[in-house]
Amino acid sequence: MVYYDTYTQSLNHQGEELCGDQVKILRTPGKMLVVLSDGLGSGVKANILARLTTEILVTMFREQVPLKDVLETVFATLPTCKVRQIAYAAFMVVEVELANGRFRVINFDCPAPFWLRAGRLLPLEQREETILGRKLLRSEGTLELGDFIGLISDGVMYAGMGTIMNIGWGREQIGACFEQLTRGRPVSAEAIVHRLMEKTSSLYGGAPGDDATLAGIFVRKPNRLMLFTGPPMDQTQDEACVERLLRFDGRKVVCGGTTGNIVAEHLGEIASLDLTTVREDIPPIGNLPDIDLMTEGVLTLARTLRLLKESQGNLRRVPVDRNGATLLTGELLRADKIFFLAGEQVNPYYQNPLLPRNISIRHNLIAQIIELLGAYQKEVTIEWC
């Protein structure tokens, strides 16, 4: 089982608030689509054109519209610059079949993608094709565990040009940097992308002369997480739920005091509290053998929801503080496949037990958290018990 980890990072042209490059990622049950578009120029106009291009491409590819019709729509929507005689937005589309790793690339006026395996660049043959009078480059291949594909806008290649030393690091130097970054055992697409974009920013002297974007696809084993929260409606199911949690192949999180007691009783243990994690409105975390994280329930879930919103899916934006909410947020953002095992027994301390279960505080918090995680490209499953 593999996971196609994606991450994207951009540098805005100096003095511009908006980036003229855009990346959009779509995951469906069978495929993943990564679209990069580079709008002509920089600033607001380039941003709008690139955003429009990615939206059109993702929408039409999702609906399996024939390529000719897709391109006809894009080219009809984005006119050609009369002075420079080029399209207002270059783009690249990578479509991956999740079951077998087969991928295809459709490239219009973007730098060729970089494909790496075991720290070595692999040849990616490109064949030229003319559709509607426009030249496209098409490629295909099969991804394996540990492979990485990097899609760049041309602003990455321009880094260093115009400086005193005029260091244009070009394709060969970028490829060598990718080889160095993917040698050994990289842990995520984010780690690779972030390091290369740090190098790009450094070559620009911190003042990019063009929008620069890198979108990475890294094939690795999935990070799996099960979160058990809330006691089951039927108390006879307590043991079965704990057994499922303990047998789960991945990280194990328990959220809720009563839920923690159920797990502790099954293990024949008494949970210890880490009082250093107490905050004004966040109870302390607990510790149990075989459980990676144990937190309080509703209060911690509510703060976790807030942190997930504020982070916008980026772990780097989570406050550096060791408490139940930051730790739970970190677990959720690091995971790729998340399974919620959620009991529907209502805690009368937080909720009138006479109210319907589907409007309980816990139920609504979990529903909102799942919606956010889905927007952050997480694969989430929930089972109410």
What pLDDT score does 132 carry?
80
Kindly provide the b/e burial profile for residues 127-148, where b requires at least 16 CB atoms within 10 angstroms of the residue's own CB: eeeebeeeebbbbebebeebbb
For residue 261, pLDDT beyond 70: yes
Average pLDDT over residues 208-212: 92
pLDDT of residue 165: 47
Tokens 């842990």 belong to which residue?
Answer: 187
Classify 278 as helix, strand or coil: coil
Q: Is the pLDDT of residue 162 over 70?
A: no
* pLDDT average, residue stretch 166-180: 84
Q: pLDDT tens digits, residue range 10-53?
A: 999 999 999 999 999 999 889 999 999 998 888 888 898 899 99
Helix 238-247 vs helix 257-267: crossing angle, to nearest 10: 80
Q: What's the rounded Cα separation, in Å, for the pair 271 and 274?
A: 10
What are the DSSP calls for 159-226, one per residue?
TTTTSSS----HHHHHHHHHHHHHSS----HHHHHHHHHHHHHHHTTTS-SS-EEEEEEEEE---EEE
pLDDT for 346 equals 66
pLDDT at 82: 63
Residues of the chain with pLDDT > 90: what percent? 72
As a whole number, the mean pLDDT across the chain is 90
Q: What angle do CA 160, 166, 169 make, to 5 degrees?
A: 50
Q: What tens digit of pLDDT does each residue of 285-296 get?
A: 999 999 999 999
Q: Which amino acid is at 8?
A: T
Residue 184 banded pLDDT, cuts 50, 70, 90: confident
Share of the chain above pLDDT 70, in %: 92
133 versus 221: which is more confidently predicted? 221
Please compute the mean of the pLDDT values over residues 184-196 and round it to a whole number.
Answer: 91
**Residue range 64-101, pLDDT digits in tens:** 899 889 888 888 777 666 666 665 789 999 999 999 99
Q: Which of 79-93, 118-132, 137-151, 157-171 holds the top average pLDDT? A: 137-151
CA 263 to chain CA centroid, Å, is 31
Q: What pLDDT is recorded for position 185? A: 81
pLDDT band at 351 (very low <50, low <70, confident <90, very high): low
Tokens 């789960």 identify what position?
Answer: 248
**Domains of the chain and any CATH numbers:** 3-220 (3.60.40.10), 224-384 (no CATH)
Give 348's pLDDT tier (boundaries 50, 70, 90).
low
What's the mean pLDDT in 265-280? 94
- Is the pTM value of this prediction over 0.75? yes
- CA separation, residue 307 to residues 7, 54, 167, 187 (Å): 20, 28, 41, 24
Residue 347 pLDDT? 62
